[in-house]
C-alpha cells in the first residue's frame, strides 16, 4: 500500500518507508524526545531503536486518501508529556504536508517510557 498523489498528467506513489523516513527525522528534532521506541516493550521496558530499525517504532497506514501515522517514543523525564506529544503532532504533520502536499493526516503519539537523557 502507498500514498497515491494524482497530479494532472501523472501519478505519484509514496511508500510507507519514505513516509517513515520523513517522520523519524521530524520526531527526533522535537524537544523532549529521547528516541524512537519499539511498539512492544521487552520485559516491561521500552527499547530505544537504532536508526535502521525505526520502522519498528513508526507505523504508517493509508485509509480513504488519509495518511495515519502511529509514533512510539521515549520522552525525557521531567518534561511535560502532553506538550512533547503536541509538539510531535505539529512537527510531523508539517513535515508530511511539506513533502506530500495537502494530504489529510492523522497522527497518534504513543509514549512508551520516560528516560533521563545523557
Q: What is the pLDDT of residues 37-54, one digit of tens each?
A: 999 888 878 889 999 999
- The domain tally of the chain equals 1
Mean pLDDT of 12-35: 93
Provide DSSP, 2-42. Answer: -EEEEETTEEEEE-HHHHHHHHHHHHHTSTTEEEEB-SS-B
Q: Sort 49 into a burial class: Cβ within 10 Å, 0-12 / 13-18 / 19+.
A: buried
Full-model pTM: 0.87
Q: In this structure, what DSSP letter does residue 49 have? A: P
Structural domain including 12 reads 3-115
Where residue 100 sits, what CATH number does that domain have? 3.30.70.1350
In the chain, count of helices (H) and strands (E)? 2, 6
Amino acid at each position: 500500500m502507498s500514498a497515491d498523489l494524482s497530479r494532472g498528467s501523472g501519478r505519484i506513489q509514496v511508500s510507507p518507508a519514505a513516509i517513515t523516513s520523513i517522520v523519524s527525522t521530524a520526531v527526533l528534532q522535537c524537544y523532549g524526545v529521547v528516541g524512537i521506541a519499539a511498539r512492544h516493550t521487552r520485559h516491561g521496558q521500552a527499547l530505544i531503536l537504532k536508526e535502521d530499525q525505526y520502522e519498528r517504532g513508526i507505523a504508517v497506514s493509508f485509509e480513504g486518501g488519509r495518511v495515519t501515522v502511529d509514533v512510539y517514543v521515549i520522552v525525557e523525564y521531567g518534561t511535560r508529556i502532553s506538550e512533547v506529544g503536541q509538539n510531535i503532532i505539529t512537527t510531523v504533520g508539517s513535515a508530511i504536508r511539506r513533502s506530500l502536499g495537502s494530504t489529510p493526516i492523522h497522527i497518534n503519539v504513543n509514549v512508551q517510557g520516560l528516560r533521563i537523557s545523557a
